[in-house]
């Protein structure tokens, strides 16, 4: 496969780092910082799918570069699917991971039902055409944060079949099973099928 150059439509440095670790060789990833792009990327739809698409098209239309965006959310059963599309700014603006986690744990209290899932939708704009790749992983919410790795809600999410949170795992282990890894695996398969 020839080297595919993609612009990542995110200013989240942790997300960029994670995607770089997961994608196999054959991809050259540019960041918004690399090209001096500093506009605020909108996320104004009411779905993860919609926000992912919106972000990708916004950056593509301004740069003309093939790009990849990611929108992810934590959907908790007992909270009716919240925080969902509002995951990044659940406790308000500006986004604050600690406040978001505190709010989720406060809302869940001592509820026994702690099932949840992480969902990611990757949108690829390639030569002016949109392609989307979804990934998800089920798990449960802890009663307090555990671990310091990762980002977002990783300290309170234990993936199904495991006994500790994403934030307590080594990055290499998380990156083999995560929602983002599953979406990127589909992206890689897409490019492999075109080779």
Give the domain ranges of the chain: 4-194
Domain 4-194 has CATH 3.90.950.10: yes
CA 55 to chain centre: 13
State pLDDT tens for residues 70-106. 999 999 999 999 999 999 999 999 989 999 999 999 9
- Indicate which residue of 34, 70, 71, 102 is catalytic: 71
pTM: 0.92
The secondary structure of residue 77, as a DSSP letter, is G
Burial bucket for residue 47 (CB in 10 Å: 0-12, 13-18, 19+): middle
Is residue 173 flagged as an active site residue?
no
State pLDDT tens for residues 45-69. 999 999 999 999 999 999 999 999 9
């Amino acid at each position: 496969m020839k080297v595919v150059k993609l612009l990542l439509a995110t200013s989240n440095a942790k997300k960029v780092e994670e995607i770089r670790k997961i994608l196999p060789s054959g991809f050259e990833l540019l960041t918004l910082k690399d090209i001096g792009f500093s506009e605020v990327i909108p996320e104004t739809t009411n779905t993860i799918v919609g926000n992912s698409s919106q972000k990708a098209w916004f950056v593509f239309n301004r740069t003309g570069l093939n790009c990849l965006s990611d929108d992810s959310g934590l959907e908790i059963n007992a909270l009716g699917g919240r925080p969902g599309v509002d995951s990044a700014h659940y406790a308000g603006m500006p986004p604050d991971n600690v406040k978001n986690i505190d709010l989720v744990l406060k809302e869940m209290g001592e509820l026994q039902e702690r099932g949840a899932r992480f969902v990611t939708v990757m949108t690829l704009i390639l030569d002016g055409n949109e392609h989307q790749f979804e990934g998800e992983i089920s798990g449960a919410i802890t009663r307090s944060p555990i671990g310091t790795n990762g980002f977002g809600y990783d300290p309170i999410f234990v993936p199904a079949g495991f006994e500790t949170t994403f934030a307590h795992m080594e990055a290499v282990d998380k990156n083999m099973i995560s929602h983002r890894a599953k979406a990127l695996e589909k992206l890689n398969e897409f490019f492999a099928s075109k080779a």
